[in-house]
Amino acid sequence: MVRRQGSRPRKHFPQQPASDKSAADIIRELRGGIAAPSDYREQSLKIHGLICAKCGREFDAKNRQLLTVHHKDGNHQNNPPDGSNWENLCAYCHEDEHSRGVLGEYLRESEREKK
């Protein structure tokens, strides 16, 4: 084998025995059964409809990419199948929702420093 100057030799890893599980099954196990983001997004859109829960803007097939799913409790791992932890927010309202939390924390910290 001829190596170019400065290149490293390849490492050889032993092959793992073939598994009867699909890659998706293995990933799901590693995640602990957590639904993939696209799964809960589609579920939320079906449950709650193509409308922003905050501003009421309606969406259709052409602009539905602007509609996002917000986790009410802030935990992205909490994805109950009934959609109780989700609300559909347009990209603008979703950004506003998260920036309010950052602003609130900043203001609380400022108040603590004054005392």
Stated length of the chain: 115
- The number of domains in the chain is 1
Question: Model's pTM, two decimal places?
Answer: 0.59
More confident residue, 111 or 38: 111
Residue 22 reports pLDDT greater than 90: no
Instruction: Flag whether 18 is in a domain.
Output: no
Rounded-to-5 percentages of helix, strand, coil across the chain: 40, 10, 50
Dist CA 33 CA 81 (whole Å): 12
Which of 8-12, 84-88, 91-95 has the least mean pLDDT? 8-12
Under the banding of pLDDT at 50, 70 and 90, the label for residue 105 is: confident
Question: Is position 12 within any domain?
Answer: no
* 53 burial level (CB within 10 Å; 0-12, 13-18, 19+): middle
The CATH number that applies at residue 50 is: 3.40.1800
Cα(47)–Cα(30) distance, rounded to whole angstroms? 27
- Residue 82 covered by a domain: yes
Question: Which residues form the domain of 52?
Answer: 30-114
